[in-house]
């Protein structure tokens, strides 16, 4: 029962694979629908899972409010991405097949990351999710950029996971255990061995790569530009959520030494590099890639704060970032058209006139990314910065706030272009199909819900901090 | 008088336009229906808002029609709304001008009509919210929420360098209000509440730890946000651009209501939360206000562009408001509030008149006109009437407020009163000279010979403004006896301060 969402996802992933092989004339819609049902069942399974808190799988998996939170998040993102993919696959004329299976398998790894409390299992979960995303990134087979994106992501990514594994080994050497709880006890009890610092640093390199935190961010713009847009929406949110969950466990539950200094530098770098990089982008996908680097930076600020408000702040940020970003990429993937031709800012000019609904939705999501009140993005930033203030990290908060002001500018550029420029060329805008409309509605409602009534989600997230006994 | 209505009336007034905007989303793109619907919604809201002045208790000084419900527990945000005599009239000003905006935009907006009226309605909700919110967070939200529709109105429906103007407007005011947000968050961190009344009580009782050292900075943070919005002299450069490029309705709301957000903020928050800091900073703020009055007037005088002239005259008039507020005298504050209302009506009307001319000739250049009184006598009469009100002719609305402000300023420091009074003379110069160049003499351009006079719709938009202008000038007490108790209560800390000083 405690592994129900993972089991459900795996089973449906296999069904999709088998169906794909068995069908003579493959019907993409069927495969997609099966995958959708799978993701929805996984979403439902998290509610079942929540009824059975405790350990499973030889104490390597722990189900608590923390892991349930992330399971729910990953499954919800998977649902939205699958809905977005229906239309995308048809327009791009990509033979779907394994695509949906890979999304489900990836989701298995991502959810497992949030409940694994043993470093080796975490590594395996990380690999499951990574390998799925490597392949997904290359799915626009006819496009050279997509293949480049996939290969680049694969090479650098395996390098990064090697770092992580090395860190795990050092950690084991320092503390004699790979269980996070035991490591935490050891590190709390006595003198902290030097090896543990090295272990944390190396693990952080591996995980920092996955969340695209500077200075491990260099791959992000190229990979995001080349990968299929729904996949970018997926891999900029769900795996990140999983990795942030792992980071939270390592940083707080395992009581990682040298946390504040390490995070301070990386967060400040990510925010600054991400925002400055985004200022000069003309390609919307690259712009959003840099924006995701910046957002990883904001999120990391919470990791430098005290556990009792840093953890809920980070969880809230992950959720609201997932909501708004997956929606933004849904718009990008719909608008991109055949072969993703329309991805530059010029193509977006006059979108407010040609497709008012799409433009309005993108506007709301962008306003949330800026952090305007009444959207999830505002409270996400609010909680993160106030947590940091309570930990007396005034310098980091100032850097963060200045960065938000810079960030406002490039998100606004998109809005300005959509509403205030006349179209440069004829860019066709297809009607919004039902699946995509539903996906957009979900992410919009989530974004606004988190902005109007953030209380319940934050309260749920706060339970973790209490449970971890800080 | 039902109590249920009293506690929900503010929410109704605030959110009826938003609900209308959402309903408009579902409308088919039949422009006529959309216009009629927007007009109905805004008129309905106006009627609802009349409840406020009608049932406002004139003697009681506190907030009325309050609604206070917990909204978010962490951070501790309440849905707290309430009005006093000052904000009640500002709400009515907003609901009064918006239907006029709908009428005046009837024909001039023919492209993306649906979006236009949705933005206008959303804008109205945000503006009303600014005046009704009593929770600092709610206030900040509405404050920021006015930005987006206004920037879009300018950028989508303006003319000329509209994108430049829209972005300049947005960035200027947004960056300034981030300073205010920092101040609000500091107050929240120290008091644990966003509630205006609770924060005020905590500050007055001296319970806020570290307030004395931080207050000058927080005061400045709030003040910068307000000063940019007003706009006070060195922060004013966004205004002429925004006005010149904005569509008529945008200009009307911008000059009529949006600028008042800044002066209202000073009145309510600067004076209400930081009386000591307001007093110690008053001298340079009043100097800036005086510079604004005189500089605005002088620049207005040399403007070749009709709309820019009115924009600079706004800077000059808003200088009076700031001068009155920081005189800390009842007359000064009464006058400041009255100027806010009067300027809202008369400058709103001036922008409508300029817009009517633009619809006919597609230019704002004063040099392109001349002798218009011959082809357009009714238009000329309306224009003269509003111009005279703006100049400050007794018996029209401009006079009362400016007179009160100046008498307050005299009491604070005679020199300020004298310098401020020159502003009245300047305004007579530039407005009457502009009137002369546009309307008198021979028709210099033959195209102007055949300009049609006002049609029924345009008259319908102008008559209410003209009538209110007259009534406000003849019977100012209708407004002042609601404003005065609120002003007195805003000034309590200052009279206490004065008493303390005398007693020592």
Q: What is the pLDDT of residue B504?
A: 42
Among B195, B275, B325, B268, smallest CA distance to B486 is for B268
Greatest Cα pair distance, chain B, in angstroms, is: 73
> Quick one: which of B70, B96, B75, B81 has its CA closest to B11?
B81
Distances (CA, A) of A341 to A95, A195, A247, A322: 19, 50, 37, 25
Residue A99 has pLDDT above 50, yes or no: yes
> Å from B452 to nearest chain A CA?
32
Pair A47, A40: CB distance under 8 Å: no
B84: distance to nearest CA of chain A, Å?
26
Cα B492 to Cα B502: distance, rounded to the nearest angstrom: 15
Q: Which of A386, A401, A420 is opposite residue B155, by nearest beta carbon?
A: A420
Give residues with Cβ within 8 angstroms of B412, minimum separation 6: B282, B286, B326, B327, B328, B329, B332
Residues of B in contact with A376 (CB under 8 A): none
What is the distance between the alpha carbons of residues B330 and B404, in angstroms, rounded to a whole number?
9
Structural contact between residues B321 and B288, judged by C-beta atoms closer than 8 angstroms:
no
Residue in chain A closest to B26 (alpha carbons) equals A357
- Confidence tier at A96 by pLDDT (50, 70, 90): low
Record: contact A405-B175, CB cut-off 8 A:
yes
Selecting from B74, B137, B155 the residue whose C-beta is nearest the C-beta of A416 gives B155
Q: Give per-residue pLDDT as tens, B195-217.
A: 888 888 888 888 788 888 888 88
Which residues of chain B are within 8 Å of residue A353 when distances are taken between CB atoms?
112
- Contact assignment for B163 to A352 by CB distance below 8 Å: no
Nearest to B140 among A373, A419, A453 (CB): A373
H or E element in which residue B318 lies:
helix B306-325
Residues comprising chain A, all counted: 470
Residues of chain A contacting residue B73, judged by C-beta atoms under 8 Å apart: 455, 459
Contact state of B144 with A373 under an 8 Å Cβ cutoff: yes
Helices of type H across B133-270: 136-145, 147-157, 162-191, 196-204, 211-229, 238-245, 248-253, 259-265
At B171 the pLDDT is 85
- pLDDT over threshold 60, residue B2: no
DSSP A400-424: HHHHHHHHHHHHHHHHHHHHHS--S
- The answer, yes or no, to whether residue A186 has pLDDT greater than 80, is yes
B484 or A341: which leads in pLDDT: B484
Q: What is the pLDDT of residues B72-97, one digit of tens each?
A: 877 888 889 988 888 899 999 999 99
Residues B443-471, mean pLDDT to the nearest whole number:
87
Q: Which residues pair with A63 in a beta bridge?
A: A54
Show residues of chain B in contact with A352, CB under 8 Å. 112, 115, 156
Position A398 scores a pLDDT of 87
Q: Considering chain B, what is the average pLDDT of its residues?
A: 87
Task: Give chain B positions within 8 Å (CB) of A408.
Answer: 171, 174
Q: Which residues in B lie closer than 8 A to residue A455 (C-beta atoms)?
A: 72-74
Between CA B401 and CA B403 the distance in angstroms is 5
Flag whether pLDDT at A165 surpasses 50: yes
3-state secondary structure of A211: coil
Return the percentage of chain B with pLDDT > 90, whole number.
Answer: 27
Check if the beta carbon of residue B100 is closer than 8 Å to that of residue B46: no
Higher-confidence position of B60 and B193:
B193
What's the token pair of residue B141? 């939200």
Cβ contact (<8 Å) for A420 and B189?
Answer: no
Task: Check if A371 contacts B (Cβ < 8 Å).
Answer: no
Category of B28 on φ-ψ map: left (φ > 0), alpha (ψ -120 to 50) or beta: beta
| Beta-carbon separation of A420 and B170 below 8 A | no
Contact across the interface for B167 and A373, Cβ inside 8 Å:
no
> Per-residue pLDDT averaged across A389-406, rounded?
86
Better pLDDT: B110 or B300: B300
Q: Residues with Cβ < 8 Å from A426, sequence gap 6 or more?
A: none
Q: Using the structure block, give the residue that is written with the tokens 């500050």.
A: B203
**Structural domain total, chain A:** 1
Q: Is A430 exposed, middle or buried (0-12, 13-18, 19+ CB in 10 A)?
A: middle
DSSP string of B322-340, one letter each residue? HHHHTTTSHHHHHHHHHHH
Q: How many CB atoms lie within 10 A of CB A131?
A: 18
> Coil, strand or helix: which one is A426?
coil
Three-state DSSP state, B63: coil
Distance CA B146, CA B137 (A): 14
Across A337-352, b (16+ Cβ under 10 Å) vs e yields: beebebbbbebbbbbb
Q: Residue A373 and residue B175: Cβ atoms within 8 Å? A: no
Residue of B21, B28, B115 to mutate, interface with A, max A Cβ within 10 Å: B115
Q: Predicted ipTM?
A: 0.80
Would the CB atoms of A356 and B141 count as touching at under 8 Å?
no
Whether pLDDT at B499 is above 70: no
CA angle B292, B322, B479 (to 5 degrees): 130
C-beta separation of B251 from B371 below 8 A: no
Longest Cα–Cα distance in chain A: 68
Q: A15: how many CB neighbours lie within 10 A of its CB?
A: 17
Mean per-residue pLDDT, A82-97? 80
Q: What is the pLDDT of residues A249-259, one digit of tens each?
A: 888 887 778 88
pLDDT at B503 over 60: no
Contact A419 B145 (CB under 8 A): no
Distance CA A171, CA A153 (A): 26
- Label residue B163 by pLDDT band (50, 70, 90): confident
Half-sphere exposure in the Cβ direction for A409 (13 Å, CA): 15
- From A102-116, A336-350, B34-48, B413-427, the region with the lowest mean pLDDT: A336-350
CB B91 within 8 A of CB B132: yes
Task: Calculate mean pLDDT across residues B277-291.
Answer: 90
B403-435 residue pLDDT tens: 899 998 888 888 888 888 888 888 888 999 999
pLDDT in tens, A111-157: 999 889 889 999 999 999 999 999 888 888 788 888 888 898 999 99
pLDDT for residue B389 is more than 60 = yes
What is the rounded average pLDDT for all residues in chain A? 87
Q: Do A420 and B166 touch (CB under 8 A)?
A: yes
Interface contacts (A, B; CB < 8 Å): 54
pLDDT value at position B1? 45
C-alpha B170/C-alpha B176 separation (Å) is: 10
Subunit contact B189:A419, Cβ cutoff 8 A: no
pLDDT in tens, A307-327: 888 889 999 999 999 999 999
Under 8 Å between Cβ of B137 and B196:
no
Q: What range defines the domain where residue A246 resides?
A: 4-467
B18 or A57, which is more confident? B18
The reported pLDDT for the residue numbered A108 is 92
B334 exposure class (CB count in 10 Å sphere: 0-12, 13-18, 19+): buried
Give the pLDDT of residue A319: 93
Burial B50-69 (b: 16+ CB within 10 A, else e): ebbbeebeeeebebbbbbbe
Q: Which residue of B has its CA nearest to A379?
A: B75
Query: In A, which residues are within 8 Å of B145 by CB distance?
Result: 372-374
Nearest to B72 among A401, A421, A455 (CB): A455
Number of Cα atoms under 13 Å in the Cβ half of residue B243: 31
Tell me whether residues B72 and A408 touch, CB distance under 8 A: no
Q: Nearest by CB to B174, which of A356, A389, A408?
A: A408
Spell A374-394 as b/e; 16+ CB within 10 A means b.
bbbbbbbbbbbbbbbbebebe
pLDDT, position A26: 60
- Given CB atoms, is A336 within the 8 Å cutoff of chain B? no
pLDDT surpasses 50 at A368? yes
Residues of chain A with Cβ-Cβ distance to B178 below 8 Å are 401, 405
Give kind and range of the element (H or E) at residue B69.
Answer: strand B64-72
Q: What is the mean pLDDT of residues B166-174?
A: 87
Inform me whether the C-beta atom of residue A412 falls under 8 Å from chain B C-beta atoms.
yes
CB contact under 8 A, A401 and B182: yes
Q: Work out the minimum CA distance from B74 to partner chain A, whole angstroms.
A: 6
> Angle at Cα B110 formed by Cα B108 and Cα B116, nearest 5°?
90
Q: The dihedral of CA A14, A19, A22, A28: what is its sign?
A: negative
A422: contact with B, CB 8 A cutoff: no
> Which residues of chain A from 431 to 470 reach within 8 Å of chain B, CB to CB?
453-455, 458-459
The answer to whether the CB atoms of A352 and B115 lie below 8 A apart is yes
Q: Residue B29: what pLDDT?
A: 78
Substitution target from A364, A416, A449 for chain B, most B beta carbons within 10 A? A416
Measured from the Cβ of residue B444, the count of other Cβ atoms closer than 10 Å reads 13
From A374, A389, A412, residue closest to B170, measured CB to CB: A412
Q: Are A301 and A267 in contact (CB under 8 A)?
A: yes
């Amino acid at each position: 029962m405690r592994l129900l969402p993972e089991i459900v996802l795996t089973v449906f992933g296999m069904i999709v694979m088998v169906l794909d092989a068995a069908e003579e004339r493959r019907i993409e819609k069927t495969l997609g629908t099966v995958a959708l049902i799978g993701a929805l069942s996984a979403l439902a399974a998290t509610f079942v899972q929540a009824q059975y808190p405790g350990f499973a799988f030889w104490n390597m998996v722990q189900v608590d409010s923390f892991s349930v939170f992330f399971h729910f998040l990953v499954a919800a993102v998977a649902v939205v991405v699958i809905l977005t993919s229906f239309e995308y696959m048809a327009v791009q004329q990509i033979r779907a097949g394994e695509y949906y299976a890979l999304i489900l398998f990836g989701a298995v790894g991502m959810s497992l990351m949030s409940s694994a409390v043993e470093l080796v299992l975490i590594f395996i979960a990380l690999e499951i999710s990574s390998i799925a995303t490597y392949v997904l990134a290359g799915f626009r087979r006819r496009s050279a950029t997509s293949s480049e994106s996939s290969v680049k992501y694969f090479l650098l990514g395996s390098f990064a996971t090697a770092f992580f594994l090395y860190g795990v080994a050092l950690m084991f050497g320092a503390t004699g255990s790979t269980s996070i709880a035991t490591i935490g006890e050891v590190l709390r009890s006595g003198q902290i061995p030097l090896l543990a610092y090295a272990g944390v640093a190396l693990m952080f390199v591996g995980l920092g790569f996955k969340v695209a935190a500077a200075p491990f961010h260099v791959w992000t713009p190229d990979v995001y530009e080349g990968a299929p847009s729904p996949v970018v929406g997926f891999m900029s949110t769900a795996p990140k959520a999983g990795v942030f969950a792992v980071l939270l466990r390592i940083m707080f539950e395992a009581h990682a030494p040298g946390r504040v200094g390490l995070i301070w530098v990386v967060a400040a770098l990510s925010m600054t590099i991400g925002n400055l990089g985004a200022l000069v982008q003309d390609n919307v996908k690259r712009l959003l890639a840099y924006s995701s680097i910046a957002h990883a930076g904001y999120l990391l600020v919470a990791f430098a704060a005290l556990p009792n408000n840093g953890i809920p702040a980070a969880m809230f940020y992950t959720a609201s970032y997932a909501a708004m970003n997956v929606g933004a990429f849904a718009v990008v993937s719909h608008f991109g058209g055949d072969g993703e031709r329309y991805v530059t800012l010029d193509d977006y000019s006059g979108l407010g006139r040609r497709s008012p609904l799409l433009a309005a939705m993108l506007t709301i999501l962008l306003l949330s990314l800026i952090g305007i009140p009444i959207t999830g993005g505002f409270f996400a930033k609010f909680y993160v910065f106030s947590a940091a203030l309570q930990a007396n990290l005034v310098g980091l908060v100032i850097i963060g706030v200045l960065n938000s002001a810079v960030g406002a500018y490039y998100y606004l550029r998109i809005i300005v272009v959509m509403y205030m420029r006349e179209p440069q060329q004829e860019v066709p805008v297809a009607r919004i199909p039902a699946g995509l409309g539903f996906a957009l509605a979900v992410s919009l409602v989530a974004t606004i819900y988190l902005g109007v009534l953030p209380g319940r989600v934050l309260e749920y997230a706060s339970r973790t901090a209490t449970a971890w006994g800080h | 008088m039902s109590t249920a209505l009293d506690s929900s009336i503010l929410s109704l007034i605030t959110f009826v336009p938003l609900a209308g905007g959402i309903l408009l989303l579902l409308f088919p793109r039949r422009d006529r229906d959309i216009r009629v619907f927007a007009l109905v919604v805004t008129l309905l809201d106006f009627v609802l808002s009349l409840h406020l002045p009608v049932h406002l208790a004139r003697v009681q000084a506190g907030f009325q029609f309050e609604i206070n419900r917990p909204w978010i527990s962490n951070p501790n945000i309440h849905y707290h709304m309430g009005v006093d005599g000052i904000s009640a009239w500002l709400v009515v000003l907003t609901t009064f001008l918006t239907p006029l905006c709908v009428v005046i935009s009837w024909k001039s907006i023919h492209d993306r009509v649906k979006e236009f009226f949705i933005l206008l309605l959303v804008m109205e909700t945000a503006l009303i919210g600014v005046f009704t919110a009593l929770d600092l967070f709610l206030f900040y939200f509405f404050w920021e929420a006015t930005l987006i529709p206004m920037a879009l109105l300018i950028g989508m429906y303006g003319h000329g360098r509209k994108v430049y103007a829209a972005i300049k407007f947005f960035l200027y005011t947004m960056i300034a209000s981030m300073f205010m947000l920092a101040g609000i968050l500091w107050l929240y961190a120290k008091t644990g509440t966003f509630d205006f009344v609770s924060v005020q009580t905590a500050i007055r009782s001296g319970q806020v730890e570290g307030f004395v050292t931080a207050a000058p900075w927080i005061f400045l943070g709030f003040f910068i946000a307000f000063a940019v919005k007003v706009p006070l002299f060195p922060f004013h450069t966004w205004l002429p651009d925004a006005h010149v490029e904005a569509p008529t309705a945008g200009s009307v709301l911008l000059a009529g209501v949006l600028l008042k957000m800044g002066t209202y903020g000073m009145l309510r928050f600067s004076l209400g939360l930081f009386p000591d800091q307001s007093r110690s900073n008053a001298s340079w703020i009043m100097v800036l206000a005086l510079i604004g009055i005189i500089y605005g007037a002088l620049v207005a005088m040399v403007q070749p562009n009709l709309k820019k002239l009115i924009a600079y005259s706004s800077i000059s008039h808003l200088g009076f408001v700031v001068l009155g507020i920081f005189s800390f005298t009842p007359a000064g504050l009464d006058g400041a509030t009255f100027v806010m209302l009067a300027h809202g009506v008369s400058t709103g009307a001036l922008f409508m008149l300029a817009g009517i001319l633009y619809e006919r000739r597609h230019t704002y250049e004063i040099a392109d006109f001349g002798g218009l009184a011959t082809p357009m006598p009714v238009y000329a009469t309306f224009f003269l009437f509003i111009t005279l009100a703006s100049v400050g002719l007794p018996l029209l609305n401009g006079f009362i407020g400016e007179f009160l402000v100046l008498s307050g300023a005299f009491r604070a420091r005679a020199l300020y009163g004298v310098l401020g009074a020159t502003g009245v003379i300047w305004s007579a110069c530039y407005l009457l000279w502009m009137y002369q160049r546009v309307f008198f003499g021979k028709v210099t351009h033959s195209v102007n010979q055949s300009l049609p006079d006002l049609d029924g719709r345009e008259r319908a938009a102008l008559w209410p403004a003209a009538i209110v202008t007259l009534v406000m000038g003849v019977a100012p007490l209708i407004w002042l006896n609601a404003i005065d108790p609120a002003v007195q209560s805003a000034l309590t800390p200052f009279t206490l301060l004065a008493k303390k000083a005398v007693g020592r």
